[in-house]
Amino acid sequence: MKLVKISDLFDIKYGNQFDLSKMESLPDSEINFISRSSQSMGIVAKVEMFNDKEPFSAGLITVTLGGTYLLSSFLQQKPFYTAQNIKILTPKKSMSDLEKLFYCFCIKANRFKYTSHGREANATLNDLLIPEKMPDEWNISENDQLTTLQNKPILSKNIELNTDNWKWFELVDLFDVSASRDGLSDGLTEGGKTPYVTSSESNNGVTSFFEEEATNKAGTITANRGGSVGYFFYQPVDYMSTPVDVRILTPKFEIDSFIGLFMKTILQLEKYRYNYSRKMGSDRLREFKIKLPVDLNNQPDWNFMRDYIKSLPYSFNI
């Protein structure tokens, strides 16, 4: 696959560099304000037109250059302004939304090359190498895209969450807690297919891919003890992981992706207890208690958890 510079495919310029605190928030506005967040496509507010400045148009890509979430890349669906340290990518030739999303993925995959407040992306973004064109396997028809992305639950019934009768369980009764034995990423070989999980809060914690064989099994949950502390992710495929700021929860019960997503969400409710100064290490994880739905035997009701996730919108795509 031929690689080219981002600047060969996109016109690139800085965003507005506006200060949100000086702008008027307007919940019904069609203008989004994009920050350096990695969540919600970077959108942190809806605002009024500012200083008669026309917003950037929908259909462009935003890329964060600094801060904690370097190279967070999003296809913006509505007109927008930006905060500081964000660049705007405009395709030099016509591109479908699917192509733009493909390039967002490619740009994010380079995040491991940079560090916050260290090597940031301001000077080098334009020269990053990306595929000259989207692979054929990404080229699906619009009808297939609609089928794939539709808001479709697996179970067409409404299941309500009523926590009144849930019971508390010790985490160590449900999981074994361990650390990865993998090496740090700077000693591994780039360009393979093995995902490497770090303490990021996005992309399921995966920040790069290496050629080495995976050592940690699918069907486990990773917990961020440092970095973006308190985030949990269900890992659906075999993977490698940093031994420093991630802990691995290996279930003592039969797990699948639906139960894994339910448990990940419940575990992450405890996130507020931890921060950069109060890390969520192995000892603290072993003190965890979580509240779960129970069956008639007062044991975790795995079938309920599975069916609840299956009843949610988009579960068809899990």
* 156 is a domain residue: no
In a domain, 314, yes or no: no
Distance CA 282, CA 222 (A): 12
- Is there a single domain that holds both residue 114 and residue 185? no
209 within some domain:
yes
Residue 78's SS3 state is coil
In this structure, the answer to whether residues 129 and 168 fall within a common structural domain is no
Residues 87 and 177 in one domain: no
For residue 120, pLDDT beyond 80: no
**For residue 150, is it within any domain?**
no
Same domain for 106 and 187: no
- Asked if residue 73 is part of any domain, the answer here is yes
Section 288-312 average pLDDT: 94
Considering only residues 76 and 317, tell me which one the structure prediction assigns the higher pLDDT.
76
The answer to whether 33 and 45 have CB atoms below 8 angstroms apart is yes
Burial of 294 (0-12, 13-18, 19+ CB in 10 A): middle
CATH number at residue 169: 3.90.220.20
Residue 146 has pLDDT above 50, yes or no: no
Q: Which residue has the higher pLDDT, 151 or 22?
A: 22
Q: How many domains does the chain have?
A: 2
Q: Distance (Å, rounded) from C-alpha 106 to C-alpha 83?
A: 23
Q: What distances in angstroms separate CA 258 from CA 3, 74, 185, 263, one per listed residue?
A: 37, 27, 30, 9
Give the pLDDT confidence of 60-115 residue by residue, as tens digits: 999 998 766 788 899 999 999 999 889 999 999 999 988 998 999 899 888 777 76
Look at the alpha carbons of 256, 258, 261, 263 in this order and tell me if their dihedral is positive or negative. Answer: negative
67-76, 137-146, 149-158, 274-283: lowest mean pLDDT where?
137-146
The confidence band for 201, taking pLDDT boundaries of 50, 70 and 90, is confident
Instruction: Read off the pLDDT of each residue in 270-275 and give the average, rounded to a whole number.
Output: 80
What is the domain extent for residue 259? 164-301
Residue 295 has pLDDT above 90, yes or no: yes
Is residue 159 in a domain? no
The verdict on 18 and 134 lying in the same domain is: yes
Query: What is the share, in percent, of the chain residues with pLDDT greater than 70?
Result: 91
Q: Do 122 and 18 belong together in one domain?
A: yes
Domain match, 8 and 136 both = yes
Assess if residue 222 is contained within a domain.
yes
Q: What are phi and psi of 11, to 5 degrees?
A: -80, 135
User: Residue 152: inside a domain, yes or no?
Assistant: no
pLDDT, residue 140, reads: 57
3-state secondary structure of 148: helix
Residue (of 81, 80, 71) closest to 103 by Cα position:
71
Residue 72: helix, strand or coil by DSSP?
coil
Q: What is the pLDDT of residue 276?
A: 73
The pLDDT mean for the chain works out to: 87
Predicted confidence at residue 150, as pLDDT, reads: 52
What angle in degrees, to the nearest 10, is found between the helix axes of 302-310 and 257-268? 100
12, 123: one domain: yes
